[in-house]
Chains A and B, each alone.
Chain A
Amino acid sequence: MLGRTLREVSVALKQGQITPTELCRKCLSVIQKTKFLNAYITVSYEVALKQAEESEKRYKKGQSLGELDGIPVAVKDNFSTAGIETTCASNMLKGYIPPFNATVVQKLLDQGAVLMGKTNLDEFAMGSGSTDGAFGPVKNPWSYSKQYREQRRLRSPGERRGADEDWLIAGGSSGGSAAAVAAATCFAALGSDTGGSTRNPAAHCGLVGFKPSYGLVSRYGLIPLVNSMDVPGILTRCVDDAATVLGVLAGHDPKDSTTVQDPVKPFVLPSLTDVSKLCVGIPKEYLVPELSSEVRSLWSKAAGLFESAGAKVIDVSLPHTSYSIVCYHVLCTSEVASNMARFDGLEYGHRCDINESTEAMYAATRREGFNDVVRGRILSGNFFLLKENYENYFIKAQKVRRLIANDFVNVFNSGVDVVLTPTTLSEAVPFLEFIKEDNRTRSAQDDIFTQAANMAGVPAVSVPAGLSPQGLPIGLQFIAPAFGDQKLLTVAKWFEKQIQFPVTQLQELTEDCPSGFENDNSASVFLKQC
């Protein structure tokens, strides 16, 4: 049951094969068993069970609120949740309990979704591995999958490593949300996507990771990284599920002036049978030397798949791609410097003990509250915003951003329906390897295929394309014109159908768990409750 898609389990709920409380308890149990993944920062046991009970009452009365009623979901811990601690994985916000729900959270709850908890991330979503948060790194569930373990045994038969030594990163910054869905603790999760933070972990965890068009989904209550690029992201097991969730979330929000006013049509995806009228663009700039051979071969296989099904597959050019990273760096850090200014220890969040002066209090509070990555970005951002630097950095970066956005406009105006690219350079790497580089270098490398879509505000989705020879998932990305979200997902759905990607083998996951897990007392306490 837990490995099913949201739509499947929704049907099961409707048909009474399982009740919302049974489903919720099962998920809570998996959360407990997979605690070592560190996917959740806060598990909202009581809230979830209460919501599930209410959902059950509705089902009994035949008054289900819709497809999401009774469905366990998880939310990245940078979305405000009323009455539930929201930390952004930062010491700065430890203990901060928002008095209001983010619009997207409210919309999920209004549809009867059951909130399992708040998922782990890089501090303030600054990172690409979910390794740089105040609550420790997220472990990729595929580290413990049957597929990956088998391949490892085959490839290095002599080595006998402990199961927990060579675990893989989940990708980020929405790694907790990705791990939560991949480990079957819930059926959908909210991530946020500023430069690829939803698509990257989706690719590493074998999920669909969808970044809607900027302005389609409200950001109210999402604690911002880069306001002009942030978009709430959706992580699910299949494209249809992503469309279902998008249908609930999309639409104008009077609290977010950047959401579009146009009424949103329901997102039902047609099953595409004929792709002969489709034109798929393959951007030549995305073929970089760092691209791993596994990803490259799956990418060209996918292109071939479209071509053999009758679609027109052409080479396209997004000529300003190579400037994207440095441009993003300037714009991102500048907005970060600004957005982080509010964390001064006065109104909420962490406050230091120093009280010689207001200035000394600010300095110590921010020194203690933010990690090196956040402080580094604040420092560079403030440098770029200085009067003497503004023209040379910020204004230029904005101009480059326009060029990057125009690259997409030009490609789509030339008749291309979707652009097909890799999502990441390679499959997920082991944590020990990942941390050899610093956060900035890693983010710059890992975001190169995903970032441009945020610059341009266009929708993009990462879809699992197959397993690497190591037995790890690899995702490919589709990008469509702004507000072409439905078309994008329709193409992604067709592709998904051709691929028939395997799910993580859950059995393996819970059996092959790290040693510390069996001694976990809270687990047994919890199991008794069930």
Chain B
Amino acid sequence: MAAPILRWVGPGKRWALAWVDSSSSHRRVSPNGSASHRMREQRSVAQQSLHTAPKPRKGGHKWAAVVGLEVHAQISSNSKLFSGSQVSFAAPPNSLVSFFDASLPGTLPVLNRRCVEAAVMTGLALNCHINKKSLFDRKHYFYADLPAGYQITQQRLPIAVRGSLTYGVFVGNKRSHMATKTVRIKQIQLEQDSGKSLHDDLRSQTLIDLNRAGVGLLEMVLEPDLSCGEEAATVVRELQLILQALGTSKANMAEGQLRVDANISVHQPGEPLGIRTEVKNLNSIRFLARAIDHEIQRQISELESGGVILNETRSFDHRLGCTVPMRDKEGKQDYRFMPEPNLPPLVLYDTASLPVGVEPQQVINIDQIRDTLPELPRVTRERLVREYGMLPEHSFTLLNEVGLLQFFQSVMKETRAEPKKVTSWVLNVLLGYLKQHNLAVNESPITPSALAGLLDLLDSKAISSSAAKEVFEELWKGKAKTAAQIVSEKQLELMQDQEALEHLCQATMEGHPQVVTDMKTGNPKAINKLIGLVRKATLNRADPAVIKNILERLSA
């Protein structure tokens, strides 16, 4: 796909398209990460089995790994951080570029209120201290997709500092027990995204798309409180859920709305921290976990074989499953930070400090934003456990799958079935089918109402649970039939005729005297065998509990 760059040509007074001819033939990634590989929509991770933390080598020392994350989240906003250009994914190249975004000389940044509010919301949700005064700085580096030659960021005094994020990890062999952990958030800063570079090595060209240039980012710097890939993956997943709940970012890693860099080092417990490397290009949660674990293992092997760790930037090659040094990141970059002179300090207020008589649209009130924060994922999970008596791990799964919680809640609204039954059907049956067919929740052929109808039939004991499975399979085929229609067409209703059932039981007992004798002598398996035989005779249309009752009565 050609991504031509804007170029003002001659006196023709037209924006024309021109190529950025030739470029360095090697690949580079700008500091805020521009590489993005296409991937399918990401799926849950927390419940999946990830690579486990590094194990000490045989006969070797114990190693401890220290992992810190830097997360860039693209802010969901209509326009860019400092210009009026629209923000939209996958628009035609260079179609969303204002004069400011193209760095035309004389243009000036104007701060987008929505982006500031998003930063405050995110900061509050992550228990940060919101700085009532924050500053903007210029970070300089030459790169083709950074038209001004600098990025406006918040290096000295960011908008939010000193927060924390609580996440749950599974412990124990069966992964059934949840433990709560916390990672500290160092700071959250507002900054500009860069454009995108596409390197065409064959023709020795670089194509630039500035649509993304200037989009608002939240850079979240996490303290190095993590110790393995799975923890990092869980934290990023939780962060993703928080951002999505707040609506401050779509946080879709495949679309580059969430980008993660990891700082990794290993050391012997009791010793000072080791030299760290930075791993970039982590564009899915799965790769993030794999890359971190690989890098920890690589550092341990390196040190154990007498090598040294270099303070370098590496990227994760997901095909090879290992991290490799990034050639361009060799040598030290001096970003020559400087205060951004065109933006006065960003001043926020709370209800106590709000100046008298000021127009509400001219100021941002932190307290007001705090009051309108939506329910955060942790609270939602606690509520699910409390309201529905759900297991904590079930609440995690419901939130981790995009759209699953909503599906669950829709079913709950329409059915009389017990929450536990609904949870079990949604998580075990529906989710199983979805995974098997590699479908997202919103692609499910079974609607929440269809499932609710089915569960109602089950709840009123109109059908047996095995019949319910059959109905589910029919519903999955998506022939626009309701559960009730399928039940009546296939004659799957439970036999309600007590007398007929008694006859069948009688006949079965008579046909199998030895089993009856066994039952009477107290063999517990015998009655189950009889129940099975009766059910078979009813074509699975009888409730085993009812059969059991009759059998017990008849043999008494």
Whether A347 pairs with B147 at a CB distance below 8 angstroms is: yes
Contacts of B15 in A (CB 8 A): 99
Q: Does A204 contact B (CB under 8 A)?
A: no
Chain B residue, CB-CB nearest to A82? B13
Given contacts A95-B10, A341-B150, whether A221 and B106 have CB atoms under 8 Å apart is: yes
Whether A358 pairs with B144 at a CB distance below 8 angstroms is: yes
Q: Does B251 contact A (CB under 8 A)?
A: no
Which of B102, B148, B338 has the largest number of chain A CB atoms within 10 A? B338
Whether A359 pairs with B24 at a CB distance below 8 angstroms is: yes
As a 0/1 sequence over residues 100 to 132 of chain B, the CB contacts with chain A under 8 angstroms (1 = contact) are 001111111111000000000000000000000
Q: Does B269 contact A (CB under 8 A)?
A: no
Contacts of A357 in B (CB 8 A): 22-25
Q: Does B488 contact A (CB under 8 A)?
A: no
Q: Does B8 contact A (CB under 8 A)?
A: yes
Q: How long is the Cα–Cα vector from A226 to B140 in the complex, in angstroms?
A: 16
Given contacts A348-B104, A355-B22, A356-B22, whether A387 and B142 have CB atoms under 8 Å apart is: no
Whether B337 pairs with A99 at a CB distance below 8 angstroms is: no
Whether B20 pairs with A98 at a CB distance below 8 angstroms is: no
Whether B107 pairs with A220 at a CB distance below 8 angstroms is: yes
Q: Does B99 contact A (CB under 8 A)?
A: yes
As a 0/1 sequence over residues 8 to 44 of chain B, the CB contacts with chain A under 8 angstroms (1 = contact) are 1011010100001111110000000000000000000
Q: Does A93 contact B (CB under 8 A)?
A: yes
Chain B residue, CB-CB nearest to A390? B337
Q: Does B403 contact A (CB under 8 A)?
A: no
Whether B22 pairs with A361 at a CB distance below 8 angstroms is: yes
Q: Does A297 contact B (CB under 8 A)?
A: no
Whether B150 pairs with A347 at a CB distance below 8 angstroms is: no
A contact patch SS? loop
Interface size class on chain B is 35 or more
Whether B5 pairs with A346 at a CB distance below 8 angstroms is: yes
Given contacts A97-B13, A342-B148, whether A102 and B106 have CB atoms under 8 Å apart is: yes
Q: How long is the Cα–Cα vector from A79 to B341 in the complex, in angstroms?
A: 19
Contacts of A220 in B (CB 8 A): 106-108
Given contacts A85-B11, A357-B22, A387-B334, whether A347 and B108 have CB atoms under 8 Å apart is: no
Chain B residue, CB-CB nearest to A358? B23
Given contacts A338-B140, A342-B105, A356-B22, whether A347 and B336 have CB atoms under 8 Å apart is: no
Given contacts A254-B110, A346-B208, whether A96 and B8 have CB atoms under 8 Å apart is: yes
Q: Does A288 contact B (CB under 8 A)?
A: no
Interface window among A237-245, A255-263, A308-316, A504-512: A255-263
Whether A257 pairs with B5 at a CB distance below 8 angstroms is: no
Number of A-B residue pairs having CB atoms within 8 Å of each other in the complex: 133
The distance from the CB of A346 to the nearest CB of chain B, in whole angstroms, is 6
Whether B336 pairs with A80 at a CB distance below 8 angstroms is: no
Q: Does B429 contact A (CB under 8 A)?
A: no
The distance from the CB of B288 to the nearest CB of chain A, in whole angstroms, is 30
Q: Does B369 contact A (CB under 8 A)?
A: no
The distance from the CB of B113 to the nearest CB of chain A, in whole angstroms, is 12
Whether B7 pairs with A347 at a CB distance below 8 angstroms is: yes
Given contacts A342-B147, A358-B24, A362-B142, whether A348 and B334 have CB atoms under 8 Å apart is: no
Q: How long is the Cα–Cα vector from A95 to B148 in the complex, in angstroms?
A: 19
Q: How long is the Cα–Cα vector from A79 to B107 in the complex, in angstroms?
A: 11
Whether A338 pairs with B11 at a CB distance below 8 angstroms is: no
Q: How long is the Cα–Cα vector from A299 to B11 in the complex, in angstroms?
A: 49
Contacts of A346 in B (CB 8 A): 5, 7, 20, 144, 147, 208
Q: Does A83 contact B (CB under 8 A)?
A: yes
Whether B106 pairs with A257 at a CB distance below 8 angstroms is: no
Chain B residue, CB-CB nearest to A93? B105
Contacts of B338 in A (CB 8 A): 334-335, 338, 385, 394
Chain B residue, CB-CB nearest to A226? B341
Q: Which of B23, B148, B334 contacts A386 (CB 8 A)?
A: B334
Whether B103 pairs with A342 at a CB distance below 8 angstroms is: yes
Contacts of B8 in A (CB 8 A): 96-97, 99, 347-348
The distance from the CB of B138 to the nearest CB of chain A, in whole angstroms, is 6
Q: Does A468 contact B (CB under 8 A)?
A: no
Whether A347 pairs with B110 at a CB distance below 8 angstroms is: no
Q: How long is the Cα–Cα vector from A97 to B11 in the complex, in angstroms?
A: 7
Q: How long is the Cα–Cα vector from A440 to B294 in the complex, in angstroms?
A: 55
Chain A residue, CB-CB nearest to B15? A99
Contacts of B20 in A (CB 8 A): 346, 358
Q: How long is the Cα–Cα vector from A394 to B150 in the complex, in angstroms?
A: 18
Which of A254, A342, A359, A362 has the largest number of chain B CB atoms within 10 A? A342
Contacts of A67 in B (CB 8 A): none
Q: Which of B142, B206, B341 contacts A341 (CB 8 A)?
A: B142
Contacts of B208 in A (CB 8 A): 346
Contacts of B336 in A (CB 8 A): 337-338, 382, 385-387, 390
Q: How long is the Cα–Cα vector from A228 to B15 in the complex, in angstroms?
A: 31
Q: How long is the Cα–Cα vector from A422 to B389 in the complex, in angstroms?
A: 84
Whether A80 pairs with B149 at a CB distance below 8 angstroms is: no
The distance from the CB of A125 to the nearest CB of chain B, in whole angstroms, is 12
As a 0/1 sequence over residues 47 to 87 of chain B, the CB contacts with chain A under 8 angstroms (1 = contact) are 00000000000000000000000000000000000000000
Q: How long is the Cα–Cα vector from A123 to B148 in the complex, in angstroms?
A: 20
Q: Does A64 contact B (CB under 8 A)?
A: no
Q: Which of B111, B138, B147 contacts A338 (CB 8 A)?
A: B138
Whether A83 pairs with B22 at a CB distance below 8 angstroms is: no
The distance from the CB of A266 to the nearest CB of chain B, in whole angstroms, is 24
Q: How long is the Cα–Cα vector from A340 to B149 in the complex, in angstroms?
A: 8
- List B residues 127-172 near A (Cβ within 8 Å): 138, 140, 142, 144, 147-150
Q: Which of A97, A98, A341, A356 contacts B106 (CB 8 A)?
A: A98
Q: Does A222 contact B (CB under 8 A)?
A: yes
Contacts of B6 in A (CB 8 A): 347
Whether A257 pairs with B105 at a CB distance below 8 angstroms is: no
Contacts of B324 in A (CB 8 A): none
Whether B5 pairs with A341 at a CB distance below 8 angstroms is: no
Q: Which of A100, A257, A337, A344 contacts B110 (CB 8 A)?
A: A257
The distance from the CB of A224 to the nearest CB of chain B, in whole angstroms, is 7
Q: Does B342 contact A (CB under 8 A)?
A: yes
Chain B residue, CB-CB nearest to A100? B99
Q: Does A219 contact B (CB under 8 A)?
A: yes
Q: How long is the Cα–Cα vector from A2 to B210 in the complex, in angstroms?
A: 49
Sample of 19 A–B contacts (CB below 8 Å): A99-B8, A257-B108, A337-B140, A338-B336, A341-B140, A341-B142, A342-B105, A344-B144, A344-B147, A346-B5, A346-B144, A347-B103, A347-B104, A348-B8, A355-B21, A358-B22, A358-B23, A361-B22, A390-B336
* Given pairs A100-B99, A258-B344, A341-B148, 18 additional interface contacts (CB within 8 A): A80-B106, A95-B11, A97-B8, A219-B108, A221-B107, A227-B342, A258-B342, A258-B343, A338-B138, A338-B150, A341-B142, A347-B5, A347-B6, A347-B103, A357-B24, A361-B22, A386-B336, A390-B337
The 4 closest A-B pairs by CB, nearest first: A341-B149, A385-B336, A227-B341, A355-B22
